[in-house]
Amino acid sequence: MAGIYIHIPFCKVKCNYCDFHFSTNQKYLSNMIDAICLELIEKKNYLNTEIINTIYFGGGTPSILSPVYLKQIVDTVYKSYQINTDVEFTFECNPDDLTEQKLLNLKEIGINRLSIGIQSFEDEQLEFMNRAHNANEANQCVELAQKMGFNNITIDLIYGLPNTDITYWTTQVQKALDLNVNHISAYCLTIEDKTVFGNMHQKGKLNSMNDEQSLSQFKLLQSKLKHAGFEHYEISNFSKNGYISQHNSAYWLGENYIGIGPSAHSYNGQTRQWNIANNISYIKALNHKQPYFENEELTPKNQFNEYILTRLRTKWGVNLIDLFKIYDKTEVKTSNRINLFIKNGDLKQSNDTLFLTEQGKFIADFISAELFV
């Protein structure tokens, strides 16, 4: 099974923390939809006619799309690919976009999973992050979606905000649980270059939360969600039984996928492609049949590193036999490093599979980097 990711590179406003590719200028929205459809048609052989098990609209903000534009893209997908009858069809959206009519349109088009960017349930923090919605909309949109028949809903939250404490975060997690959603994604704030927060940080106007405080919030998240019946199946993702994200899990498990739209990535096990991250250049290239992506042939070293990076983050862990089948030239060195992390309590091994411990999950990226070739 394979997946399709479609990147909609437009937003109403620029969130202060976001370094994804997008534009707040929607002048070329119609041209972009046409170009996305052209790429969908052009890329159909990249996956060798594999059945599509998941479709994911991300961004940017897909929920700014009108029903006409959304239908144009979805029709192109179904005409160009073989789609599983029980496809997981996820749509990212912002709370301020979710009206009753919008939700009806999404259901009619076949969308069966919503990913709602809440980030916070408090107006002060939403304003700090320059989010387009308010706290009241954060609650109402989820309740409305559930009323309209969407039972597969995930919400995003951000912890580690520099002007918050453990009391604030406890309240946020509880408010998320009170909404009775089946999936929660929670990300620690990272201050990225070329963002508003990044600029503030460089000027000394914004400091990151210290690691000890961030770790406290992360541990509280783990504890409260586990007690509420959620499985911590990936560093940032928690799910009730039967509601694991099939699309994102396919990334972590090395399944094939195509990425459509500017800045999107594609992977088929042997190569990785990434599209240019410029809206106008992307549109022009597709219209004039010019190159719009770069391509990398994956070496055994690349595949070895990617296997560690993606699998170690998950409940499925790293199978060491499979890992060293990919590239065994550093088996002794890698095994020695693994043993050090096991000794420190950051990794644990069960039979031939390596897992992060609860404390190791907080430094997962560091551990992966230390194990890379």
Tokens 């929670």, residue located: 186
Residue 330 has a pLDDT of 86
Apex CA 256: angle with CA 116 and CA 30, to 5°? 55
User: Both 238 and 328 in a single domain?
Assistant: no
3 state SS of 88: strand
CB atoms closer than 10 angstroms to residue 294:
10
Cβ atoms of 298 and 306 within 8 Å: the answer is yes
User: Both 235 and 311 in a single domain?
Assistant: no
Q: What is the mean pLDDT of the chain?
A: 96
Helices (H) and strands (E) in the chain, counts: 14, 15
30-39, 118-127, 325-334, range with the lowest pLDDT: 325-334
User: Both 35 and 182 in a single domain?
Assistant: yes
User: Both 241 and 308 in a single domain?
Assistant: no
- Domain assignment present for residue 285? The answer is no
Tokens 């400091």, residue located: 207
pLDDT digits (tens, 9 = 90+) for 206-255: 999 999 999 999 999 999 999 999 999 999 999 999 999 999 999 999 99
Interval 68-95 mean pLDDT: 97
User: Both 312 and 230 in a single domain?
Assistant: no
The domain containing residue 357 runs over which residues? 299-373
User: Both 8 and 124 in a single domain?
Assistant: yes
Cβ atoms of 112 and 88 within 8 Å: the answer is yes
User: Both 225 and 309 in a single domain?
Assistant: no
CA distance 190 to 160: 8
CA distance 4 to 259: 6
CATH of the domain at 94: 3.20.20.70
- Domain assignment present for residue 232? The answer is yes
User: Both 243 and 127 in a single domain?
Assistant: yes
User: Both 51 and 150 in a single domain?
Assistant: yes
Tokens 């699998």, residue located: 311
Q: Residues with Cβ < 8 Å from 90, sequence gap 6 or more?
A: 54, 55, 56, 57, 111, 113, 114, 115, 245, 247
CB atoms closer than 10 angstroms to residue 49:
9
Can you give the length of the chain in residues?
373
Cβ atoms of 2 and 47 within 8 Å: the answer is yes
Residue 1 has pLDDT above 90, yes or no: no
**Type of residue numbered 278:** N
User: Both 219 and 313 in a single domain?
Assistant: no
Number of structural domains the chain divides into: 2
User: Both 205 and 317 in a single domain?
Assistant: no
CA distance 307 to 235: 16
User: Both 303 and 247 in a single domain?
Assistant: no
- Domain assignment present for residue 282? The answer is no
Interval 352-370 mean pLDDT: 95
CA distance 328 to 310: 19
CB burial class (10 A; 0-12, 13-18, 19+) of residue 163?
Answer: exposed
Which spans in the chain are helix H? 29-42, 67-80, 100-109, 123-129, 135-147, 166-178, 196-202, 211-227, 246-252, 279-287, 300-311, 320-326, 331-344, 364-371
CATH of the domain at 310: 1.10.10.920
Interval 325-353 mean pLDDT: 94
Residue 319 has a pLDDT of 96
Model confidence, pTM: 0.96
- Domain assignment present for residue 278? The answer is no
Cβ atoms of 151 and 182 within 8 Å: the answer is yes
- The domain boundary, picked from 251, 278, 307, lies at 251
Q: Is the dihedral of CA 326, 332, 333, 339 positive or negative?
A: positive
pLDDT digits (tens, 9 = 90+) for 101-149: 999 999 999 999 999 999 999 999 999 999 999 999 999 999 999 999 9
